[in-house]
Amino acid sequence: MKRFTAACGAVLIAASCHHPEKEKEMVTWESRGDTVIVPANAPVSARLHLLAVAEKPYQLQLLSAGIVKVIPNNYAEIAAPFAGRVLKSYVRLGEKVMAGAPLFAISSPDFYAAQKAWFQANQLCQQAVVAQRRQQDLHLHGVGAARDLEEANTNLAVQRQELENAAAALKVFNVNPQQQVLGEPLIVRAPIAGEVISNKLVNGQFLKGEDGPVAVVAQLSQVWIAGQVKEKDLRFIHEGDVVQMQVAALPDTLFAGNVFHVGRTIDENTRAADVLILCPNPALRLKPGMYASVSFKDALEKVITVPARAVLQDNDYSYVLLEVHAGTYVRRKVITGETAGQQIVVRSGLQPGDKIIGDGAFYLSAVK
């Protein structure tokens, strides 16, 4: 059995060096294995404050940085399908358009050649149909040679394939071959509904195929917030969870969204997974590229929390000093969780109603 003297006791010993009889009156506390006994008249006793353990509502909150991004399916970059000259622009910056609405008309020798090829193939195919029907009728009435019918069938098959090839060349430009007029310019149309957020079109300008997008149409009434969550915290994030966000440009405004997708892989450098949050944006206040502060919250639960200073650390475990009798405490191993301010969550080791040393436990932390 070891005896330990409180820090205040050391001061009293120093002050009573010339009074051996006072030294005998010094009251100490003692340790018996994992049990600590502190007499009521020990100086350290006044520094120990008990705390009754109780369950309290708790909601885990994780903070992360994010970036506002457009939803890929709601974003379209429109480039010139071929080199040509812009004959007319139908839209203005900021204008709302429907899917299929005309954006600009462009004329090009290449497009005219594709149109001409289709009209020629269509005419030859119609002639081949007429010829095949004539030979088929002659053969049925016994006045036509089988060889001539076979040649007509072969020619029809070839012409139909040529027509399909010519039609495929036009469909690349999103053109219905049956509704075109030879020589008319190509009308480039919006692939999605949305707002024109970028417009570089100028009537009369010559565009090259490699010039890149000349207009951008986006639907921004919903956006994604792309954030990252550390590997150790992913267990608290679930698809569908409600999330709150703030952006620096609107510090007094809270935006709410839902976790849309949790990444399936971990970045080896950051040890984090990408998390996409779907956020309504009806007033278009969230702009793509903005930085956001994201607050993830787990489901509300009842847990035991204790002051962080009440939890002591041994070599390989955490513990608190649990009162078993007045002045008698025992080491109780605990498994701790998250820290919330000055409190720490205790996941196991304590029950509601237990009394522990909530303040001053470190005075007894040297005992074994």
Does 207 share its domain with 227? no
Domain boundary among 177, 211, 245: 211
Residues 277 and 331 in one domain: no
pTM of the model: 0.61
Give 227-251 pLDDT, tens digit per residue: 888 898 888 888 988 898 999 888 8
pLDDT in tens, 189-229: 999 999 999 999 999 999 887 788 999 999 999 999 998 88
189 and 280 housed in the same domain: no
Mean pLDDT of 77-98: 92
Q: Are residues 188 and 264 in the same domain?
A: no
Contact between 364 and 32 under an 8 Å Cβ cutoff? The reply is no
Q: What is the pLDDT of residue 27?
A: 62
Paired with 218 in beta bridges are 75, 195
| Same domain flag for 152 and 226 | no
Q: What's the structural domain count of the chain?
A: 3
Say how far apart CA 365 and CA 235 lie, in whole Å. 33
* 366: confidence class by pLDDT, cuts 50, 70, 90: low
Residues 98 and 193 reside in one and the same domain: yes
103-116 in b/e burial notation, b at 16+ Cβ within 10 A?
bbbbebeebbebbe
Residue 288: its pLDDT value, please?
93
3-state secondary structure the chain: CEEECCHHHHHHHHHCCCCHHHHCCCCCEEEECCEEECCCCCHHHHHCEEEECCEEEECCEEEEEEEEECCHHHEEEEECCCCEEEEEECCCCCCEECCCCEEEEEECHHHHHHHHHHHHHHHHHHHHHHHHHHHHHHHHCCCCCHHHHHHHHHHHHHHHHHHHHHHHHHHCCCCCHHHCCCCCCEEEECCCCEEEEEECCCCCCEECCCCCEEEEEECCCEEEEEEEEEHHHHHHCCCCCEEEEEECCEEEEEEEEEEEEECCCCCCCCCEEEEEEEEECCCCCCCCCCEEEEEEECCCEEEEEEEHHHCEECCCCEEEEEEEECCEEEEEEEEEEEEECCEEEEEECCCCCCEEEEECHHHHCCCC
The CATH code of the domain that includes 233 is 2.40.30.170
Residues 322 and 346 in one domain: yes
Please choose, from the candidates 170, 169, 160, the residue with its C-alpha nearest in 3D space to the C-alpha of residue 129.
160
Is 39 in the same domain as 96? no
Name which of 265, 257, 174 is nearest 228 in CA terms.
Answer: 265
Q: What is the pLDDT of residues 314-352, one digit of tens each?
A: 888 899 999 998 989 999 999 998 787 788 889 899 999
Q: Does one domain contain both 206 and 259?
A: no
Of 184, 211, 238, which marks where a domain is finished?
211
pLDDT > 90 fraction of the chain, expressed in percent and rounded: 51
* Distance, CA of 330 to CA of 321 (rounded, Å): 5
> What share of the chain in percent tops pLDDT 70?
91
With a cut of 50, say whether residue 6 has pLDDT above it. no
Q: Are residues 154 and 205 in the same domain?
A: yes
297, 312, 346: which is the final residue of a domain? 297
**Paired tokens of 299:** 């489901």
Report whether pLDDT(88) > 80. Answer: yes
Judge if 230 and 203 occupy the same domain. Answer: no
- Shared domain for 100 and 170, answered yes or no, is yes
Which range marks the domain in which residue 307 is found? 2-58+302-364
